Amino acid sequence: MTRGRMTRSSRACERAGTLPERQLRAARAAERLRVELTEGHGITARVHEGYGIAMLWAGPTAEVVVWTDGQWFRWWTGRLTRTGGKVYASGTCDNPATIARRVSLRYTDLSAKQAGPGNELRTVAG
């Protein structure tokens, strides 16, 4: 379990210089996005990485899943094409703050839909 950070074995491999650069790029990009979501938007997220990609699960039940290869972030917008295909949003990894803002908007939209009609979202002070 990663607990929102690179796995212990990944950190050890990084120190030893044995983790492929592609996988390092993906893990680092996902971690930067996780920090932006947590610190800038109050959204908890976990990072899971391997095979040259990393996935970031935003929210307690993975409401938004973001994939990265270290160059691009991608996530489902919630929309479908006319033929039923999913429409994905994407953005480069060079500005995680912008991507965090966009992902937080999607997260807020999903949270509102899950609350259902007549059930307002409640924010807890603290």
Tell me what pLDDT residue 22 has: 74
pLDDT bin (cut points 50, 70, 90) of residue 11 is low
Q: How far apart are CA 1 and CA 113, in angstroms?
A: 29
CB 6 within 8 A of CB 49: yes
State yes or no: pLDDT of 120 exceeds 60.
no
**Residues facing 54 on adjacent strands:** 49, 68
For residues 113 and 67, the model is more confident at 67
Listed in sequence order, the residues at least 6 apart from 71 whose beta carbon sits closer than 8 Å to its beta carbon are: 25, 29, 92, 93
User: In percent, how much of the chain has pLDDT > 90?
Assistant: 60
Q: How far apart are CA 104 and CA 58, in angstroms?
A: 9
State CA 10 to chain mean position distance: 18
